[in-house]
Amino acid sequence: MSLTIPDLLFLAIAAFTVVSAAGVAFSRNIVYSAFSLMGTFMAAAALYVFLAADFVAVVQVLIYVGGVLILILFAVMLTHRIADVRVSNRSVGRLPALGICFVVGAMMLTAVMRGGWHQGELQPAGPTTAEIGNLFLTHYLLPFELASVVLLAALIGAVFLSRKELKDS
Amino acid sequence: MTIGLNGFLIVSAIVFVLGLYCVLTRRNAIGILMGVELILNSANINYLAFARYGGGSYDGQIFALFVIMLAAAEAVIGLAIVLGIYQTFHTIDVEATETLRG
Amino acid sequence: MHDLIEVNYLRWIPLLPLIGAVINGVPGVLIQKNWGKRAINAIAVTPVLLAFCISVYAFFQLLGQEPEKRYLLDHMWTWIDSGNLKANAAFAVDQLSGVMILIVTGVGGLIHIYSTGYMHDEKSYWRFFALLNLFTFSMLVLVMADNLLLMFVGWEGVGLCSYALIGFWYQTYENASAGSKAFIVNRIGDFGFAIGVFLIFWTMADAGHPTITFRDLAANISLIDGKTFLGVSVATFACLMLFVGATGKSAQIPLYVWLPDAMAGPTPVSALIHAATMVTAGVYMIGRMNFIFSMSPTALTVVAWTGALTALFAASIGLAQNDIKRVLAYSTVSQLGYMVLGMGVGAYAAGIFHLMTHAFFKACLFLGSGSVIHAMGGEQDMRKMGGLRKWMPYTYWTFLISTFAIAGIPPFSGFFSKDEILWKAFSSEHGSPLLWMVGFAAAGMTAFYMFRQVFMTFWGECRADHHTQEHLHESPPVMTYPLVVLAALATIAGIWGIPESLGGSNEIEHWLAPVFHAGGHGAEHHAAHGGIIEYALMAASVGVAALGIFLAYLMYEKKSLSPDTFTELAGGAPYRAIYNKYYVDEFYNAVFVNGLLVITRLCAAFDHYVIDFIVDGAAYVTRFVSWVNGLFDAYIIDGIVNRIADVTLGLGTRFRHLQTGSINGYLYVVVLGVVLVMVVRLV
């Protein structure tokens, strides 16, 4: 076994990711799940760094952890009487779900193993921001603009939905 | 690094499966959303892995950025809806929202 | 080509009576009410007398011309100019129509004057005179027309006026139906006439010279030579068709049946229309179209034999009639037969001559009988008359003269004209001794029954009842003067036709020769060489007439010979046959009239049962079909629709259970689907 330090590091981060994800899936307390989710996000960001995607990693931390997670926590707080245990994380129909998950997992692992992935040359890891910026404004201009439209729509939609709720309550 | 592509793909597969489990078994609406986030993340890992090991083009990273962005938007809307459900049903148990049953 | 002279006064000859007819016709009632019958008289009689004066003038103008140039044409306007057909409203007077207009206006005028007295008590006085004038107008159009179409207009016009005048007292059913009978029988003849006209025009147009003007036709008629129609030569066919028209108008066999019934009209009408003018239209027409008749010996033979047989046939019926007007009616048919016989043997001039003399004596006879009826207070049966010469001298003497004329006794005019016809019947290239014999027999009968009439009416004891006898009187001068004039004419008219064999120059034949040059030559040819035979025949006809008179004298005056000898002859059957007019009317009634009624009833039944059945049946079928459609719609269409709805409902009921409302469930399904796809792809 010629595991180098990076490999070990990778294994550690991968393990952390998996454990956090399991925590999200199997935790009974929704708040515990939320925090595990944070852990997963962080670990994912670390994995991104491993994949020489520095900008994406930073964005991941910013958006996911700093945005989505906070949002989820807010939602949890707003909809959940902390003292109320009854409405919680109870899972239903575990066995069929496990069955499906098992099948899917098996299929995916099979695909990975039997993949025959064509691998190209590994470029040296370097800063990617400039390149991504370039691409956004040249090749991917249209999706970029459309994305902003989508965000606008989401913004308006969210405002609309929550305004109605606020009025009712 | 000897782990290489396969390692990342395996990790992503495991996260995907866990996210799928979350989606299928959670009774809490937010729990389901968390599962969706997990699935999206696993997809991101895949994208980036292939971007790195598939010849060095940055297309994968661009895609991953888009995924992040869309996930954020979707989380916003989803949580707004969840709040709406809470207002109506005073609970976010998905078993409770059965008024549209046939 | 003969020249013609263009004038513009001929139009007044028919137009003046027309104006009289319109003035008397339209506001007649008012005129009669406000100014009385004298005004009507003036309006009616004056135009005719004026027309006579103009006719005389035209005649003298003709006299002053060369024989070839005797043709006056008054072109009023172009009536029809369409494609091939050109017909003008134009009047022409040549030698033939010159004679005719004198007769029509002269005799017509006298009858108009007579009628003012005869119809004195009539309420619809104005209507009578309006119709009389209208008739005169139509007759003048007929004889003065320069083409076949205009002549046909006059032809129809006289038919119409005769219908109106025969049925003048239409309030009585018999009178009205007599008028209808005249019109309908005439119509049958008109149909034939029209076909003849069409055929002539058509053939001429085919040959390249489309025309219906008499002058043009006469000049170019040879163009139809050799052409056939339905296998018969055009000339023969057309002549026969034209002759059918003549049999209708001139009361020949088989279309004579209307004339005896026409006696239902007032006596002046009988005199004018059925003695002097309308019935002669047929004879005139044959004379006018002589050029085409001469082209067809077949047609001429038919004409001659029809005329001869009609003469004999009608004379035989006249032997047994008791109504004073009926006797005269049958004698008219018989005399018309003579005229037609004359035309048929090519003796056109002789026929026209007899037409003229007949107009004089027959009009006189009819007016005289009118006088008698007037005096007898309406009685027409001769068995109730007798000895009237005591009370009515003028009537008697004029009647007697006219009877001598009709019997053919010289020196009266009838002798010359009738004899001319009989001679030509014997000697002409179209005639035969057989024809002469028929005419000879008829002459004998004519003399007999006419003098029977004289003896029964004017001689012997008066058989009328006391009351009538009290009222017997001679007619007023307005009625007797025309009688005198006519009787005078009947006496002297023979002067114009004295044949060469008797030292005369047969002026009328020479006068008319240019018109009849086709037939005239033949007749003239023989006339010059008549010789002994001609004198012998002449003597024979006079002799048979004298015999007839003598027989009548024996039977009805001296009463030494009883009529019963003849009536009882051969079991009385022949007598009954002629007394009942050979049952011809009954035969026509049974065959044609009833036959037509049978067809009518058949058609009515067909309409009622078949056509109505089809229509009603169609309605029933439609209702039935719509009922079936309704069922179809209710059960099948609605059924399908309802079934679809039920299926949808059923499916919906079953499928809505898919909507569990459970989000978890939905998610399960989604994931399952994805897994399925993945499995399929991988495997």
The CATH number of the domain where A10 resides is what? 1.20.120.1200
Range in B1-10, C146-155, C366-375, C444-453 with the lowest mean pLDDT: B1-10
Residue B54 lies in a domain: yes
**Smallest CA–CA distance from A25 into chain B, residue:** B22
How many beta-carbon pairs below 8 A join chains A and C? 20
Which chain B residues have a beta carbon less than 8 Å from that of A62? none
A138 and chain B: CB distance < 8 Å anywhere? no
**pTM for the full predicted model:** 0.64
Tokens of B58: 């940055």
Residues C399 and C537 occupy one common structural domain: yes
Residue range A109-127, pLDDT digits in tens: 988 888 778 887 777 878 8
CB pair distance less than 8 Å for A105 and B14: yes
Mutation target for A interface from C669, C678, C680, C681: give the one with most A CBs within 10 A.
C678
Count of CB atoms situated within 10 Å of the CB of C676: 10
Residue range C103-142, pLDDT digits in tens: 999 999 999 999 888 888 888 888 899 999 999 999 999 9
Residue C526: the pLDDT is 47
Considering A32, A60, A88, which residue would you say is the last residue of a domain?
A88
**β-strands C228-229, C232-233 pairing:** antiparallel
Chains with 3 or more CB pairs under 8 A to chain B:
A, C
Range in A2-6, C161-165, C278-282 with the lowest mean pLDDT: A2-6
| Confidence bin at C522 (pLDDT 50/70/90) | very low
Up-side HSE of residue C546: CA atoms within 13 Å toward CB?
7
Residue A90: the pLDDT is 52
Residue C564: the pLDDT is 67
| Confidence bin at C2 (pLDDT 50/70/90) | low
Range in A4-18, A139-153, C467-481 with the lowest mean pLDDT: C467-481
pLDDT at C17 over 50: yes
**Smallest CA–CA distance from B96 into chain C, residue:** C662
Per the prediction, chain C carries an average pLDDT of 84
pLDDT at C577 over 80: no
CB pair distance less than 8 Å for B95 and C659: no
Count of the separate structural domains present in chain B = 1
State the nearest Cα–Cα gap between A101 and chain B, in angstroms.
Answer: 6
Count of CB atoms situated within 10 Å of the CB of A165: 17
**Smallest CA–CA distance from B20 into chain C, residue:** C671
What does the DSSP assignment read for C271-335?
HIIIIISTTHHHHHHHHHTHHHHTT-HHHHHHHHHHHHHHHHHHHHHHTT--BHHHHHHHHHHHH
Which chain B residues have a beta carbon less than 8 Å from that of A56? 44, 48, 61, 64-65, 68
Q: Write the residue in B20, B23, B99 that is nearest to C661 by C-beta.
A: B99
Q: Write the residue in B7, B35, B52 that is nearest to A10 by C-beta.
A: B7
Contacts of C186 (CB under 8 A, 6+ apart): C159, C162, C163, C248, C249, C255, C258
Residue C663: the pLDDT is 81
| Confidence bin at A58 (pLDDT 50/70/90) | very high
Q: How far apart are CA B84 and CA B97, in angstroms?
A: 12
Strands laid side by side in the C85-94 sheet: C5-6, C71-82, C85-94
CB pair distance less than 8 Å for C660 and B24: no
Residue A99 lies in a domain: no
Between these two residues, C65 and C643, which has the higher pLDDT value?
A: C643
Range in C296-310, C446-460, C499-513, C538-552 with the lowest mean pLDDT: C499-513
Residue range B55-99, pLDDT digits in tens: 778 889 999 999 999 999 999 999 999 888 888 888 887 777 777
Residue C508 lies in a domain: no
Residue B94 lies in a domain: no
Residue C520: the pLDDT is 41
* Cross-strand bridge partners of residue C90: C75
| CA–CA distances in Å: residue B29 to residues A41, A85, A154, A162, C246 | 20, 15, 19, 17, 122
What part of A 35-54 touches B (C-beta under 8 Å)? 37, 40-41, 44, 47-48, 50-53
Domain range for residue C429?
A: 296-469+532-576
pLDDT at C582 over 90: no
| Confidence bin at A62 (pLDDT 50/70/90) | very high
Per-residue pLDDT, averaged over A137-159, amounts to 93
Question: At C328, phi and psi to the nearest 5?
Answer: -65, -35
Which ranges of chain A does DSSP label H, i.e. alpha helix?
Answer: 5-26, 30-50, 54-59, 70-79, 94-113, 129-137, 141-168
B94 and chain C: CB distance < 8 Å anywhere? yes
Residues C340 and C390 occupy one common structural domain: yes
User: Which residues of C lie inside 8 Å of B (Cβ-Cβ)?
Assistant: 655-664, 667-668, 671
Mutation target for B interface from C662, C674, C678: give the one with most B CBs within 10 A.
C662
B44 close to A41: Cβ distance less than 8 angstroms: no
pLDDT at C601 over 60: yes
Residues C301 and C395 occupy one common structural domain: yes
Residue A85: the pLDDT is 45
Residue C570: the pLDDT is 63
Domain range for residue B38?
A: 8-89
Q: How far apart are CA A56 and CA B65, in angstroms?
A: 6
What part of A 88-107 touches C (C-beta under 8 Å)? 92-93, 96-97, 100, 103-104, 107
Count of CB atoms situated within 10 Å of the CB of C650: 10
Q: Write the residue in B20, B23, B102 that is nearest to C658 by C-beta.
A: B102
Maximum Cα interatomic distance, chain A, rounded to a whole number of Å: 64
Residue A100 lies in a domain: no
Tokens of A96: 């069929």
State the nearest Cα–Cα gap between B36 and chain C, in angstroms.
Answer: 11
Residue A25 lies in a domain: yes
CB pair distance less than 8 Å for C671 and A111: no
C293 close to C343: Cβ distance less than 8 angstroms: yes
Mutation target for C interface from B24, B85, B99: give the one with most C CBs within 10 A.
B24
Between these two residues, B88 and A93, which has the higher pLDDT value?
A: B88
| A78-87, B50-59, C357-366, C626-635 — most confident range | C357-366
Considering A61, A88, A115, which residue would you say is the last residue of a domain?
A88
Residue C236: the pLDDT is 87
State the nearest Cα–Cα gap between B61 and chain A, in angstroms.
Answer: 7
Count of the separate structural domains present in chain A = 2
In three-state form (DSSP H/G/I as H, E/B as E, the rest C), the secondary structure along C63-78 is HCCCHHHCEEEEEEEE
CB pair distance less than 8 Å for C661 and B101: yes
Residue B68 lies in a domain: yes
Mutation target for A interface from B11, B70, B88: give the one with most A CBs within 10 A.
B11
Residue C88: the pLDDT is 82
Domain range for residue A132?
A: 127-164
Residue B32 lies in a domain: yes
Residues C364 and C303 occupy one common structural domain: yes
CATH at B66: 1.10.287.3510
CB pair distance less than 8 Å for C682 and A96: no
**Smallest CA–CA distance from C675 into chain A, residue:** A104
Residue B39 lies in a domain: yes
Sign of the CA dihedral running B60, B65, B71, B74:
negative
Residues A18 and A69 occupy one common structural domain: yes
Up-side HSE of residue C498: CA atoms within 13 Å toward CB?
11
